[in-house]
Structure 1
Amino acid sequence: MENLKSNPNSHLTAKERDTLSFPAKILLNKNLIVGDVLDFGCGYGSDVKLLKAQGINIDGYDKFHFPDYPSKKFDTIICFYVLNVLLPEEQATVLMELSQLIKPTGKVYIAVRRDLQFEGFRTHKIHQKKTYQCNVILNSKSFFRNENCEIYEYQHYNQTKRTEKVDCPFCNPDSERELIVESATAYAIYDKFPVNRGHALVIPKKHCSDYFDLSFKEQAACIFMLNRVKEIVSEKFNPDGFNIGINIGEKAGQTVHHVHIHLIPRYDGDVEEPRGGVRGVIPKRQKY
């Protein structure tokens, strides 16, 4: 993945407008901008201002122009033309942030451009600095599409029912379980039978029993999320260390045949002698 420092000018693509953006008009006309609303990546805040004037309870967040990060969860989040100007790692970060900011039963509407003729870095016509753009395809429900844009509707993975692999608890997770964070290809929840406080699972959405059968991209997405979940668990539970593990095959202890990575927080005194860590999967070999 590219270094995030190689894309410092994404904020220069923001535009000032005196009318609602096209995606905002579509959603407003269908009465879908409801409850507490967040415009994530709002740029100069034009939609925020215009929707407020129509009685919408909306806040705006933009890393560059409105940098006060939201401190609550929302019923509706709109995110228009943000992903198109971000590198893949930045896109994944934004999707995870959106999943954390939306209420469990809320909805996120993500608009992406469909009229891009050139992908990559280019010199911005007005600012004369290098800016990035790319086409984006998500695996969420496509709500609207024309030749210029597509709008996706996203809900938490455990709030939508699927008809395939209905017996797999990770393809169809319980809607009552707390979803920690989610990206396009993976999600994380707390273990139903935790070894320790904050014991979390990172799970690819692709149904696959063997971690080594995942593509490199799918593995990388899981590890990228693992880093994020570690930060969340650290802030919430303040552990003294971690064990990370993947069970592959019944002889290695795998009981659910869908890949999942265990992130197990460790605390001072949780076992009499922690030395050896994951070597303890074979107890007599833990100490050496």
Structure 2
Amino acid sequence: MYLSYLWTNRMKWIKRRKIKGCLFCNIVNKKEKSLILKEGEVFVVMNKFPYNTGHLLIFPKRHVENIEDLRKEETEKIFATIQKSIKLLKRALKPIGFNVGINIGKVASASVDHLHIHVVPRFGADAGFMEVFDSTKVMPEPLEETFNRLKKFSSLLE
């Protein structure tokens, strides 16, 4: 028996309004509000439903569903942006590790059909991804506060 329960905003994600078109294309075209840290050929945004504090999403501006459809220069820019994002997170949040992942296709848990990369900082007290799939996660600060902490170092993404 648990002494207390922690309620997450997961139901917001499940019951969210269904957007028309692609979420990431809507962010690119300013039709969807997002906490954007970098714009250009590659975007870096904060995940509105993070696995952990500082969870970033990196995606190409061009709508691409499969990794093999990326152009060489897009691949290079995306991986350079992953490196820069990790540098930013290290400077701003001081994590001790990272999960970097790509889910391709619905059976692989991709919820958006626009290729994107998750960069999830990990901290000493984390229980790993199990806590995400066990439906419980403690977030130590609001998303906007984390965004403001990261924004101070966003020049590292250039």
Shorter chain as denominator, the TM-score bin is 0.5 to 0.7
From 113, 116, 124, the counterpart of 1:257: 113
Contact 1:199–1:262 (CA under 8 A) maintained in structure 2: yes
Relative to the length of structure 1, the TM-score reads 0.35
Note if 1:226 corresponds to 2:87: no
**SS state at 1:256 partner:** coil
| Larger relative contact order (CA 8 Å, sep ≥ 6) | 2
Superposed counterparts of 1:109-148, under 5 Å: none
Aligned residue number for residue 180 of structure 1 = 37
Task: Give ranges in structure 2 of 5+ residues lacking alignment.
Answer: 1-19, 134-158
Contact 2:101–2:119 (CA under 8 A) maintained in structure 1: yes
Deviation at 1:175, TM superposition (A): 5.5
Task: Give ranges in structure 1 of 5+ residues lacking alignment.
Answer: 1-165, 282-288
Relative to the length of structure 2, the TM-score reads 0.63
Contact 2:35–2:45 (CA under 8 A) maintained in structure 1: yes
Q: Percent identity?
A: 33
Aligned residue number for residue 21 of structure 2 = 167
Contact 2:95–2:122 (CA under 8 A) maintained in structure 1: yes
May I ask how many residue pairs the two structures share in their alignment? 109
**SS state at 1:170 partner:** helix
Q: What amino acid sits opposite 1:224 in the alignment?
A: A
Contact 1:181–1:229 (CA under 8 A) maintained in structure 2: no
Aligned residue number for residue 91 of structure 2 = 235
Structure of higher CA gyration radius: 1
Deviation at 1:215, TM superposition (A): 1.4
| Equivalent-residue separation in structure 2 for 1:201 and 1:168 (angstroms) | 15
| Equivalent-residue separation in structure 1 for 2:107 and 2:25 (angstroms) | 23
Q: What amino acid sits opposite 1:167 in the alignment?
A: G
Deviation at 1:226, TM superposition (A): 1.0
| Equivalent-residue separation in structure 1 for 2:124 and 2:89 (angstroms) | 16
**SS state at 1:171 partner:** helix
- Deviation string, structure 1 residues 238-266 (Cα, Å, up to 9, x no partner): 11100100001111111100010000001
Contact 1:191–1:200 (CA under 8 A) maintained in structure 2: yes
Structure (1/2) with the larger helix percentage = 2
Root mean square deviation of aligned Cα = 2.2
- Extract structure 1 runs of 4+ deviating beyond 4 A: none
Deviation at 1:172, TM superposition (A): 1.2
Contact 2:38–2:44 (CA under 8 A) maintained in structure 1: yes
| Equivalent-residue separation in structure 2 for 1:216 and 1:241 (angstroms) | 28
Contact 1:180–1:229 (CA under 8 A) maintained in structure 2: no
Superposed counterparts of 1:1-288, under 5 Å: 167-173=21-27, 176-183=33-40, 185-271=41-127
